[in-house]
């Protein structure tokens, strides 16, 4: 990403590339900044949005930029107190974007205001994401499946709802199906990243599942894989896959362009779960990954869906 001149006080303690510029960028510069941030990160979000109409892509990029910076303010800052302060500052900048947009200086909020205005996006969905990132600073372990669902309500579901709103869908029935996909994707990432999360001092494996299957806390840090651990992960994968399938019904209620994108997200989640199964549920020996061949297969399938949709119009 291109460098921005910065003030000393703006988001002090944040990664350098996220500091607020000294001079207010134009809307076009701000949109370009968000676009570059989206493209420079290896994430499914940018790839999936390629299948959407060009006129809505800048809105997705501004939403993604807001989420990406907020996530990094929480995860890339080692001191929890500093991270919470930065997230609070980001939330204040969000409120300024809604209440006094002419005062916004950060490129994210200059671009995001245009998206908020055009798509009528509620501020609470953006604030909900910050609630999740603050939770990461103060709640390192989860006791129940329901606690994970509550976390996902803040960490994942707002993104899906924002995607629907940008595409013009405001029906709660459709949003609830989106919630299932987004929650399942969040859970799949948890089961994929058990070791990495433990190294960060976090455990998203629910304690109730560990107790039910006879898994000890020390097995994660010591990477002690047992049949009991395998049975626990298998149960979590099964429940997560069922949620993905339930959410997949959303494609019946949206246009074909969006259906292709949402299907790609859902299939990506299934691919993560397939990777876990392929390792016989041993997520302790290494992070299960989706192979390049599988990713190309998913993209190729989505491209074919897109072409068929275009030919049938």
Tell me the CATH number at 6.
1.10.600.10
Q: Are residues 62 and 96 in the same domain?
A: yes
Q: Are residues 128 and 247 in the same domain?
A: no
Look at residue 306 and tell me if it is in a domain: no
- So what's the pLDDT on residue 164? 95
Provide the token pair at 208. Answer: 């109730």
Q: What secondary structure does DSSP assign to 53-81, as a single string?
A: -GGGHHHHHHHHHHHHHHHHHHHS-S-HH
- So what's the pLDDT on residue 5? 40
Look at residue 211 and tell me if it is in a domain: yes
What's the whole-number mean pLDDT along residues 202-227? 97
Phi, psi at 254, each rounded to 5°: -125, 165
Q: Are residues 156 and 292 in the same domain?
A: yes
Q: Residue 262 sits in which domain range?
A: 140-301
Q: Are residues 294 and 234 in the same domain?
A: yes
Lowest mean pLDDT among 26-30, 215-219, 265-269: 265-269
CB 278 within 8 A of CB 288: yes
Which among 138, 169, 197 is the end of a domain?
A: 138
The mean pLDDT value of the chain amounts to 88
Q: Are residues 95 and 214 in the same domain?
A: no
- So what's the pLDDT on residue 292? 53
Lowest mean pLDDT among 29-43, 52-66, 243-257, 269-283: 29-43
Q: Are residues 220 and 277 in the same domain?
A: yes
Q: Are residues 95 and 173 in the same domain?
A: no
- So what's the pLDDT on residue 48? 60
Q: Are residues 154 and 130 in the same domain?
A: no
Q: Is residue 139 pLDDT above 70, yes or no?
A: yes
Closest Cα to residue 193, out of 216, 219, 220?
A: 220
- So what's the pLDDT on residue 306? 45
Provide the token pair at 199. Answer: 């190294």
The pLDDT tens digits for 223-254 are: 999 999 999 999 999 999 999 999 999 999 99
Higher confidence at residue 75 or residue 187? 187
Number of domains in the chain: 2
Q: Residue 133, CB half-sphere, CA atoms under 13 Å: how many?
A: 29
- So what's the pLDDT on residue 304? 47
Provide the token pair at 18. Answer: 């996220």
What is d(CA 87, CA 134) in angstroms, rounded to the nearest whole number? 7
Q: Are residues 83 and 152 in the same domain?
A: no
Which among 138, 167, 199 is the end of a domain?
A: 138
Percent of the chain with pLDDT strictly greater than 90: 73
Look at residue 312 and tell me if it is in a domain: no
Alpha helices by DSSP H, listed for the chain, are 27-40, 44-49, 57-75, 80-99, 107-119, 123-138, 145-155, 157-166, 172-192, 194-199, 207-213, 218-222, 227-247, 256-278, 292-311
Phi, psi at 309, each rounded to 5°: -60, -40
The pLDDT tens digits for 289-302 are: 765 554 545 444 44
- So what's the pLDDT on residue 52? 77
Q: Are residues 12 and 101 in the same domain?
A: yes
Look at residue 309 and tell me if it is in a domain: no
Question: CA of 157: how far to CAs of 22, 83, 191, in Å?
Answer: 34, 22, 18
Which among 87, 107, 138 is the end of a domain?
A: 138
The pLDDT tens digits for 160-182 are: 999 999 999 999 999 999 999 99
What is d(CA 197, CA 219) in angstroms, rounded to the nearest whole number? 14
Query: In this structure, how many other beta carbons lie within 10 angstroms of the beta carbon of residue 73?
Result: 25
Q: Is residue 101 pLDDT above 80, yes or no?
A: yes
CB 161 within 8 A of CB 225: no
- So what's the pLDDT on residue 49? 65
Look at residue 311 and tell me if it is in a domain: no
């Amino acid at each position: 990403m291109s460098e921005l001149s910065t003030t000393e006080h703006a988001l002090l303690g944040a990664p350098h590339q996220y500091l607020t510029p000294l001079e207010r960028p134009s809307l076009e510069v701000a949109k370009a900044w968000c676009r570059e941030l989206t493209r420079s990160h290896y994430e499914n979000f940018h790839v999936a949005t390629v299948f959407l109409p060009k006129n809505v892509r800048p809105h997705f990029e501004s939403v993604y930029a807001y989420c990406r910076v907020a996530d990094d303010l929480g995860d890339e800052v080692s001191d929890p107190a500093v991270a919470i302060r930065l997230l609070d500052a980001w939330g204040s900048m969000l409120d300024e974007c809604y209440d006094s947009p002419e005062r916004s200086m950060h490129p994210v909020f200059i671009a995001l205001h245009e998206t908020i205005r055009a798509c009528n996006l509620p501020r609470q969905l953006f604030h909900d994401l910050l609630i999740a990132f603050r939770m990461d600073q103060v709640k390192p372990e989860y006791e129940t499946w329901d606690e994970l669902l509550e976390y996902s309500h803040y960490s994942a579901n707002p993104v899906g709802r924002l995607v629907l709103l940008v595409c013009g869908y405001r029906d709660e029935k459709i949003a609830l199906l989106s919630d299932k996909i987004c929650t399942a994707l969040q859970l799949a990432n948890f089961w994929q990243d058990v070791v990495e999360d433990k190294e960060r001092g976090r455990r998203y494996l629910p304690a109730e599942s560990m107790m039910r299957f006879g898994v000890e806390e020390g097995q994660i840090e010591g990477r002690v894989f047992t049949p009991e651990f395998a049975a626990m992960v298998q149960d979590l994968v099964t429940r997560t896959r069922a949620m993905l399938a339930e959410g997949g019904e959303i494609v019946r209620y949206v246009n074909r362009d969006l259906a292709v994108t949402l299907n790609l997200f859902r299939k990506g989640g299934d691919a993560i779960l397939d990777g876990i199964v392929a390792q016989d549920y041993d997520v302790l020996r290494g992070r299960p990954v989706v192979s390049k061949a599988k990713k190309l297969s998913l993209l190729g399938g989505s491209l074919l869906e897109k072409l068929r949709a275009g030919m049938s119009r």
